[in-house]
Structure 1
Amino acid sequence: MKISLKNLKKFLLPILIFVVSLTISMLKTTFYGINAELGRIMEKAGAILLIASFAWAAIVATHMAKRIFLRHTDITVADNLHSRKLYTQYTIIERIIVFIIILVAIAFVLMSFENIRRIGISIFASAGIAGIILGLAAQKVFGSMLAGLQIAFTQPIRMDDVVIVEGEWGRIEEITLTYVVIKIWDLRRLVVPSTYFIEHPFQNWTRTSAELLGTVFIYTDYSVDFDRVREELTRLLESSQLWDGKVNVLQVTDAKENRVEVRALMSTRNSSDGWDLRVYVREHLLLFLQREFPDSLPKTRVYVENNRPESRNSGSALNS
């Protein structure tokens, strides 16, 4: 019952506007009796208010329909891929419907004026030229809108997706018909046109799943005991709630003349946990190496051998 009353309250304002428009329409003869010009103004005002009330009610109904369809979706849970997919589609569809409602309402309001109606008829009479002009002028606008529709149904991105765009790591915060807002990790907002995600390559870390593999690279000396480092990695992961318990690997991935590259591979439930776990493992592995293998930093080895005869003779003279 509370939900029903709350929903009905949102229709109060459009209903009030509708009642005012009907009242003005019923009293228009009275206004004409007082002043013909005032009567025409009030008649137009009543028609505009009537259109506005229907448009407002349609927008409210669209918002309510979206909430009803999404009432069982929750994008705050860890496994929210299906919820984010539905939320993205219904959000863009809602904005398309609202845009169409507003456009139609404005058109009806403008066509209620005789002068504008005549202009509209003349434009339709020369629809070919007008269509070409409007098409050229609004090419980018309609291109962005079509890209927004394509994003809604093909979904290269979804709400709350983790992406890397223009070298910036962030989450999809808002998707509109013409642009997308990305919340960068340092709380900046990156705004890009919808066409960007159709025309340019980008990284989507949560396209099919929020799970992610994290890597930590450490460079050590050849003298390090890798089995002990592997045991320490296992201990660190098992003691952290960020690890999902699936992937725990330590491998020597490269060996140069003065260093060894060690890669620690771990899995997490999402990218945020992945970042925090990588930072945690990197720091504590370095502390472990400092504590257990203090000479484990990469070294440059130089071997000097002197075979000159005079050096050997001078050495023998000194010994004698």
Structure 2
Amino acid sequence: MENVLRPVTVLGGSLAITLIAGWAADLLLRRADTRHPETPLWGLLRRCRLPFQVVLCTSLLRGSYRQAGTLPDHSFAVGRILTLILIASVAWLAVRIATAAVDSVYARYAAAAAAEDEARVRRVRTQVTLIHRVVTAVVIVVALAAMLLTFPPMRAFGASMLASAGVLGIVAGIAAQAALGNLFAGLQIAFGDTVRIGDTVVVDKEWGKVEEITLTFLTVRTWDERRITMPVSYFTSKPYENWSRGGAEMTGTVFLHLDHSAPVPLLRDHLEQLLPDIPEWDGRAWALVVTDTTPYSIQVRATATAKDADDVWTLRCAIRERLLSWLAAHHPSALPRVAATEAVPRPGP
């Protein structure tokens, strides 16, 4: 009877201690969050309750299962399983704590600087995202290595491989050259501030916004909702356009090819009148000039400013549409014409 009661008592006591400790920790974090609402860390740390309880319960069982006589015929297997669970749960808890810390830093910074510098907020968001992924990757790798080292054959295998570590290092370096290049390129992007999440970019003649940056690839969401995925090393080795660098304001350009008789001064006056009715125009500047001429037409360039890339696209479309509609309605002769004559019939029978 004692052989049954002792394991049950140890298991029940461990579960009770775990539940009480989890409840107490959650209560303390809730009170700290109430007293310090300006710091979201305490509320975010409440997400660590479940992994904390798993770590605590596994630690208690791991330290007492032999004395409790739990499955004495399989004590080695029980100890191995508890050790693996403990390593995995510690890694889980470490990832949750890192996530809470990163989210807390970003939330506080975003709340303080959102109204002042949106570009800096997006830069910090990119950096903390990549830092979180690096920490998560390191914790997972260390946890997997620790779990493998609990098996004696793996320890012997690791010792035997150390003798040829130099050759293996060279082979692995050559094989992982692209992956390592993307890894360091991702860190360079994060801390070099070359491109950030939310930036408007033009890559391979495709216009879109940076939606996601990982350690190995970057995703651009195009205007027609396609996703372009490319290695992050592209942004450190090839030129691309970043419309969000140095401020989001932009100047939109519209080119019209018109007849030589086009009333340019009247067209300029009409542009000045229609711009206040276009909500995307930010009121900073505008212009309309003749930039080129050919034997058949002239090239007129209209420019206007907008607060960001999304508005400048809509502004360009509105200007182009309204100027052409006004010319077609009031000065149709100003639109380009193609001179043509009837075909001469071929002489002959």
Same fold (TM over 0.5): yes
Q: TM-score, normalised by structure 1?
A: 0.88
Match of 2:76 in 1: 40
Aligned twin of 2:209: 171
The answer to whether the 8 A contact 1:169-1:185 is kept is: yes
1:133 corresponds to 2:171: yes
**Counterpart residue identity of residue 15, structure 1:** F
> Does the 8 A contact of 1:79 with 1:210 survive in 2?
no
Q: CA deviation at 1:30?
A: 5.3
Single out whichever of 89-98 and 25-34 deviates more from structure 2. 25-34
Q: Map Cα deviations across residues 4-42 of structure 1 (whole Å, 9 max, x no partner).
A: 674243111211211231232134215767444x21121
C-alpha separation in 2, matches of 1:191 and 1:259: 42
Q: In structure 1, what is the Cα distance between the partners aligned to 2:148 and 2:57?
A: 20
Question: Relative to structure 1, is the Cα distance of residues 123 and 31 closer, same or farther in structure 2, using a 3 angstrom cutoff?
Answer: farther
* Residue of structure 1 in register with 2:53 after alignment: 16
CA distance in 2, matches of 1:33, 1:24: 10
Is the CA contact (8 Å cut-off) linking 2:284 and 2:305 kept in structure 1?
A: yes
C-alpha separation between the residues in 2 aligned to 1:166 and 1:112? Answer: 49
Counterpart for residue 226 of structure 1: 264
SS of the residue 1:214 aligns to: strand
Question: 153-162 or 27-36: which moved more?
Answer: 27-36
The answer to whether the aligner puts 1:60 opposite 2:96 as a matched pair is yes
Mapping of 1:1-320 within 5 angstroms? 1=33, 6-29=43-66, 34-36=71-73, 38-71=74-107, 72-73=109-110, 80-300=118-338
Change (3 A) 1:268 1:76: farther
CA distance in 2, matches of 1:48, 1:8: 24
Indicate conservation of the 8 Å contact 2:252/2:312, yes or no: yes
* SS across alignment from 1:242: coil
Q: Measured at CA, do residues 299 and 77 of structure 1 come closer, stay the same or move farther in structure 2, by a change above 3 Å?
A: farther
Deviation at 1:299, TM superposition (A): 2.9
Describe the SS at the equivalent of 1:26: helix
Give 1:77 shift. Answer: 6.8
CA distance in 2, matches of 1:200, 1:270: 24
Does the 8 A contact of 1:32 with 1:40 survive in 2?
no
Contact 2:262 2:335 survives alignment (8 Å): no
Q: Give 2:283's aligned amino acid.
A: G
CA contact (8 A) 1:78 1:210 kept: no
Looking at structure 2, the residues matched to 176 and 142 of structure 1 have their Cα atoms a distance apart, in angstroms, of: 13
Secondary structure of residue in 2 paired with 1:164: strand
Kindly tell me the number of residue pairs found equivalent between the two proteins.
302
CA contact (8 A) 1:78 1:269 kept: no
Deviation at 1:61, TM superposition (A): 1.6
Residue 162 of structure 1: how far off its partner (Å): 0.8
Q: Which amino acid aligns with 1:25?
A: R
Query: Whose helix proportion is higher, 1 or 2?
Result: 2
| Matched position secondary structure for 1:177 | coil
**Structure 1 CA distance for aligned equivalents of residues 173 and 42 of structure 2:** 46
Deviations 1:90-112 (A, max 9, x none): 11111111111111111111111
Task: Sort the Cα spacing of 1:302 and 1:174 in 2 relative to 1 into closer, same or farther, 3 A.
Answer: closer
CA 1:249–1:270: 2 relative to 1, 3 Å: same
Q: Which moved more, 1:15-24 or 1:211-220?
A: 15-24
Aligned to 1:316: none
C-alpha distance in 2, partners of 1:134/1:126? 12
Q: State the secondary structure of the residue aligned to 1:208.
A: coil
What percentage of aligned pairs have identical amino acids? 34
Find the aligned partners of 2:322 and 2:81 in 1 and give their Cα distance: 72
Whole-angstrom CA distance in 2 between matches of 1:76 and 1:252: 41
Q: Distance in 1 between matches of 2:89 and 2:340?
A: 86
Give the letter aligned to residue 50 of structure 2: L
Conserved in 1, the CA contact under 8 Å of 2:282 and 2:307? yes
